[in-house]
Amino acid sequence: METLLRIAVQKSGRLSEDSLKLFKECGIKFINSTKKLKSASHNFPVEFLFLRDDDIPGYVEDGVADLGIVGENVSAEKQKEVDLIKKLGFSKCRLSLAIPREVEYSGVTFFEGKSIATSYPVILGEYLAKQGVTCDIQEISGSVEIAPGIGLADGICDIVSSGSTLIGNGLKEVEKIYKSEAVLIGNKNLSAEKKEILDKLTFRIDAVLSGKSNKYVLLNAPNDAIDRIVSLLPGMRSPTIVPLATEGWSSIHSVINEDEFWDKIEELRAAGAEGVLIVPIEKMIS
């Protein structure tokens, strides 16, 4: 029987759509019916299991699934023995401490002797221990943000992305304690055959992720500006330079990292670049 890598993804929630999109961008075709428990690909040796995110680290540790996608927060909270293979760049959020808006906050010692409601007792416990603060951690599994309002706790520790849920519940964020994004985790004892499939998969994921973090740049420049412009462009190896029909002008093509993009554009224009085009890259293999 053909060896299949079993990948656990969240059945429905904030990770589901981007997880499945990543596999599609890797060229892996499958029937996406999250009504089913599992779905095999017909063009790549993987099978997807659709599960609650909380169960994924445990299933990956046990080998029920070979790989899984979860938030780092869930992976850290569950303390399972799994490999962190790769950060995936989506579902970015943080765990923060928050207290009622009207309460004055003086620093993390505010929490000494107080109670904090959270679904993340492990991450919170580690943070408080590091800060030397002793609290009563109230573990609750959902709707953490209503705890102070009903007198269950003085503060909360919960996931924040924009902060609007906190504001809607009369709370203010006072400490950011943990940064998270989606990660690919793997079982620690994959067979050689499964490792081989994993290598093919991570090769594709890397190509997709570096495509996303880079842009293809095309620009025109007078020939006497080429040297300066080329010195500003890193490129994958060296930029491509093509003569234009207009005498004395060339078109220069290269790749720029998204993070340095706006700074570079200004420098390039100052160096004489014109007609700059920025094009998204679908995949990039270095």
Q: Which residues bind Zn ion (CB under 5 A)?
A: 53-54
The residue among 34, 35, 74, 37 whose CA lies nearest residue 55 is 74
- Minimum CB–partner distance for residue 53 and Zn ion (Å): 4
Binding site for ligand ATP (CB under 6 A): 10, 13-15, 52-54, 71, 73-74, 91-93, 159, 161, 180
Say which entry of Zn ion, ligand ATP, none residue 87 contacts (CB below 5 to 8 A, set by partner kind).
none
Nearer to ligand ATP, 16 or 220 (CB): 16
Cα distance between residue 115 and residue 96, in whole Å: 15
Nearer to ligand ATP, 12 or 257 (CB): 12
**Which residue type occupies 232?**
L
- Minimum CB–partner distance for residue 51 and Zn ion (Å): 10
Nearer to Zn ion, 53 or 66 (CB): 53
Contacts of 46 (CB under 8 A, 6+ apart): 4, 5, 6, 7, 23, 28, 30, 40, 197, 201
Nearer to Zn ion, 140 or 230 (CB): 140
Residue 255 gets the label, from left (phi > 0), alpha (psi -120 to 50) or beta, of: beta
Per-position DSSP letters for 7-62, written without gaps between them: EEEESSSTTHHHHHHHHHHTT--B---TTSSEEEBSSSSEEEEEE-GGGHHHHHHH
Nearer to ligand ATP, 185 or 256 (CB): 185
Match 């003086």 to its residue by tokens.
106
- Minimum CB–partner distance for residue 233 and ligand ATP (Å): 34
Cα distance between residue 96 and residue 98, in whole Å: 6
Nearer to Zn ion, 56 or 97 (CB): 56
**Which residue type occupies 2?**
E
Residue nearest to ligand ATP (CB): 71
Strands 115-118 and 155-160: parallel
Cα distance between residue 189 and residue 2, in whole Å: 19
- Minimum CB–partner distance for residue 18 and Zn ion (Å): 16
Say which entry of ligand ATP, Zn ion, none residue 93 contacts (CB below 5 to 8 A, set by partner kind).
ligand ATP
Say which entry of ligand ATP, Zn ion, none residue 17 contacts (CB below 5 to 8 A, set by partner kind).
none
- Minimum CB–partner distance for residue 204 and ligand ATP (Å): 23
Say which entry of Zn ion, ligand ATP, none residue 15 contacts (CB below 5 to 8 A, set by partner kind).
ligand ATP
